[in-house]
Structure 1
């Protein structure tokens, strides 16, 4: 590995151990075995490096979201069964990805101290939304159109963030994939019937 990759791996370790606020450039240098000048040379700033490290951690979690064992999807796209299959897969990753989700919430509840990092991550969210649309729809991520990202992607991302809050707060009372799917089924039935149940 070169300095760029070493810095990224060191930053990921620091984020998981210390979080965004307590991670210093010197911590990253120590964890990566590089030097301070390497951060600016390869990433421009500590904030940029931390954002890239965080995105890499989140992408690793997202890769484990794929339904079924070994990425095998068994239910047809657009079905309630597929909806439940995907959420079951997502929730299965919570115990191992808990520290990464805690990082997300650390970031959400910070003020201007992490403003630069928050802006960079806000720009990166669209990629997460398109990945979610691809999982539920079965469309390759490269073919997901902007309208789907801005509507369906936002819907799935809102559900994901809400579920993560519940699971981090109290896993025993958190919404399950089955409950979420039944809730959606009832909403669809109610809207199809014009509000009658």
Structure 2
């Protein structure tokens, strides 16, 4: 791997281990085994690097979940829900990035591109909105959050209503 790939791998590692807010340029450089200057050279800023690392990590997670069938099926929803536990740090980092996007045009631009990809992959804005709501429920109050079957049943009921 080259410095750019090493930086992305280091940034992903830091996002999982430290979260967005607590990851410094020094942390990323140390995890990647490169100099601090390499971040500016390859990505322009810490924020741009962390955002790209987050988008890549979410893409990798999505690829791992693709084998679970259609989005409206209980197995697919349950696989997404399970990822809120197995990849909790990644989902929390995504929420941290959304907060950062309110103060950074660079972060907002990268996240907007990621959301566009997610809309395409999930089949539209409504499934993406549902996914965001599920994520919040599972991160905050998992004991009362719905299962994949409950989500699929509710969607079926909504689509069958006149």
Please say whether Structure 1 and Structure 2 have the same fold, judged by a TM-score greater than 0.5. Answer: yes
Superposition pairs of residues 24-43 of structure 1, within 5 angstroms = 24-43=24-43
Structure 1 residue 114: deviation in Å?
A: 4.5
Which string of whole-angstrom CA distances, capped at 9 and with x for unpartnered residues, describes residues 21-72 of structure 1? Answer: 222212211111101221122222222111111111111221222244xxxx
- Correspondence for 1:118: 108
- Correspondence for 1:148: none
- Correspondence for 1:139: none
Q: 5+ unaligned residues in a row in structure 1: which ranges?
A: 134-152, 192-197
Distance 2:104 2:41 in 1: 21
Higher relative contact order (CA 8 A, sep 6+): 2
Q: Compared with structure 1, are the counterparts of its residues 2 and 87 closer, same or farther at alpha carbon in structure 2 (3 Å cutoff)?
A: same
Could you say what the CA RMSD is over the residues aligned between the two structures, in angstroms? 2.1
Distance 1:188 1:14 in 2: 41
Superposition pairs of residues 68-107 of structure 1, within 5 angstroms = 68=68, 73=69, 82-107=72-97
Distance 2:33 2:76 in 1: 39
- Correspondence for 1:141: none
Give yes or no for the alignment of 1:8 onto 2:8: yes
Distance 1:127 1:21 in 2: 24
Distance 2:118 2:157 in 1: 27
Kindly indicate whether the alpha-carbon contact (under 8 Å) linking 1:16 and 1:103 is maintained by their aligned counterparts in 2: yes
Distance 1:118 1:49 in 2: 13
The runs of at least 4 aligned residues of structure 1 exceeding 6 Å deviation read: none
Count residues with an aligned counterpart.
162
Structure 1 residue 111: deviation in Å?
A: 7.1
Distance 2:42 2:18 in 1: 22
Superposition pairs of residues 114-193 of structure 1, within 5 angstroms = 114-133=104-123, 153-191=124-162
TM-score relative to the length of structure 1: 0.73
SS at match of 1:161: helix
Structure with greater Cα Rg: 1
Kindly indicate whether the alpha-carbon contact (under 8 Å) linking 1:91 and 1:177 is maintained by their aligned counterparts in 2: yes
SS at match of 1:53: helix
